[in-house]
Amino acid sequence: MTRPIRIAISGGGLAGASLMQALRQYPHLDVHIFESAPAFKEAGLAIGVTRNAQAALDLIGPPAPQLLERAGAVPMQGVRFMIAEGEGVGQVIDEVDNSKGTRLTSIIHRAAYLQQLLADVPEDHLHSSKKLEGIRHDTDSVTLKFADGTSHECDILVGADGIHSTVRKFVLGENDPAAHPRNTGLWVVMTLQPYDKAKASLKDFVNSNDAREYSWVGNGTYILHNVLSDGQLVQFVIGSKDDEPSDQWRRTVSACEIKKLYANWPMELRNAIDELLCQEPEQNGIYLWEHPPARVYASGPICIMGDAAHATTPWHGSGGGMSIEDSLILSTLLGRAKTPVEAQAALKAYDYVRRPRTQRIVESSRVTGMMLIGKGAQTGMEMKVAGNLLPRWDFILDLDMLEHRNEAIQKMLDELTVSA
């Protein structure tokens, strides 16, 4: 009897957990997931799962689509982009709603979603406190070496180990500039607030019965807010850009600086900022980093996915969605592999279909971010007149996911034919 294909996933965040969940339907795959932290947990607040990612979940099959609902995802009834400074203040730049029944995006708490993704995974396949320090690729296997002195042998290694990925450095080479992330200079401060408190501050702009995501465009400043956790929480985010480049990951933002940045915004929004963010003297901000384009996502029996492959800024709300798409393609292809050699053909096909799309999203997100903080070539009113903001999402949302999956399958068949 042919032995199972041994798959190791390095990284127990949303990307690794999504892939783990998608691979569980294939009994001939022996999958283990390794997390460097003492426990499987997610940093950060919320993510959006847009309709393209929801289509990927549908194709993965049960229970993947149902896990969103179990984790308290709130489907947005609409998305609005508003002018917060300058000409046309208070006007809608552009908006879209689901009046025709079209799915837009669902907002979900990262930690709640991770918990659901891993809830039914056997404990002996979940390994915490396993910081990856070394990788050895031999003729017939890959060996992972961990900081605690232990090791694990596998046939296929999937690096889902985030923006600081060890596996990415192995695939590309430590000296490849694309092996390391770069700071975009943009930063955000994020907070989760109880619904009633946020409602009192944002008033009619927050409504759990008609949940909508708002993006407010200023002159070098930005606000986003949306509803999550079954309507119990509101995510509130401010963002701006530093004039000078930085190599830091975090940034302290004082209440005085926040008030100065938003001094020319409408009174109702200034009041909301004051009530939700300025009651403490300082807030912890984070810089937004991204990966330069990698020349490959796979090398032999080793590949990267999620933020390890295509770490992106959040302006398209697509980081989590790309990981879900990666999980669909990788699970579909690895599920068809019957031997480790065929599994390597699966990784080649994955690289072929996923790299162009994800790298385009990373690039587009950076440009979109400059537009949303009011540092692009056009003002909010000019974007309204031109109608060129919402169409930036079309290539992301309107991908035919079934066709994308079938392209990957065909590419894998072509690889197997060539190798035969």
Residuewise pLDDT in 10s, the chain (420 residues): 478 999 999 999 999 999 999 999 999 999 999 999 999 988 778 999 999 999 999 999 999 999 999 999 999 999 999 999 999 999 999 999 987 778 899 999 999 999 999 999 999 999 999 999 999 999 999 999 999 999 999 999 999 999 999 999 999 999 999 999 999 999 999 999 999 999 999 999 999 999 999 999 999 999 999 999 999 999 999 999 998 889 999 999 999 999 999 999 999 999 999 999 999 999 999 999 999 999 999 999 999 999 999 999 999 999 999 999 999 999 999 999 999 999 999 999 999 999 999 999 999 999 999 999 999 988 899 999 999 999 999 999 999 999 999 999 999 999 999 887
Cα distance between residue 66 and residue 72, in whole Å: 10
Q: What pLDDT is attached to residue 101?
A: 77
Q: Two tokens at 217? A: 């465009």
Cα radius of gyration rounded to whole Å, the chain = 22
Q: What is the reported pLDDT for 1?
A: 43
Question: In terms of DSSP bridges, do strands 151-154 and 142-146 run parallel, antiparallel, or are they unpaired?
Answer: antiparallel
Q: What is the pLDDT of residue 43?
A: 75
Sequence-distant (6+) residues with CB within 8 A of 149 are none
Q: How much is the pLDDT for 379?
A: 86
**What one-letter code names the amino acid at 143?**
T
16/23 Cα distance (integer angstroms)? 11
- Closest among 365, 376, 364, 388 to 218, alpha carbons compared: 376
Rounded Cα–Cα distance for residues 251 and 319 (Å): 22
Distance CA 87, CA 71 (A): 41
Q: How far apart are CA 10 and CA 396, in angstroms?
A: 27
Strands (E), 250-381: 250-254, 282-290, 298-299, 302-304
Residue 23: CB partners within 8 Å, gap ≥ 6? 7, 29, 31, 330, 331, 334, 335
pLDDT recorded at residue 249: 97
Question: pLDDT at position 102, please?
Answer: 82
- Segment holding 288, helix H or strand E: strand 282-290
Q: Rounded to an integer, what distance in angstroms lies between the CA atom of residue 278 and that of residue 255?
A: 5
- Please choose, from the candidates 13, 9, 16, the residue with its C-alpha nearest in 3D space to the C-alpha of residue 41: 13
Q: What angle do CA 351, 44, 302 make, to 5 degrees?
A: 25
Contact (CB, 8 A) for 369 and 184: yes
Number of continuous H segments (helices) and E segments (strands) in the chain:
14, 20
Residue 157: what pLDDT?
98
DSSP at 211: -
Task: Quote the pLDDT of residue 45.
Answer: 87
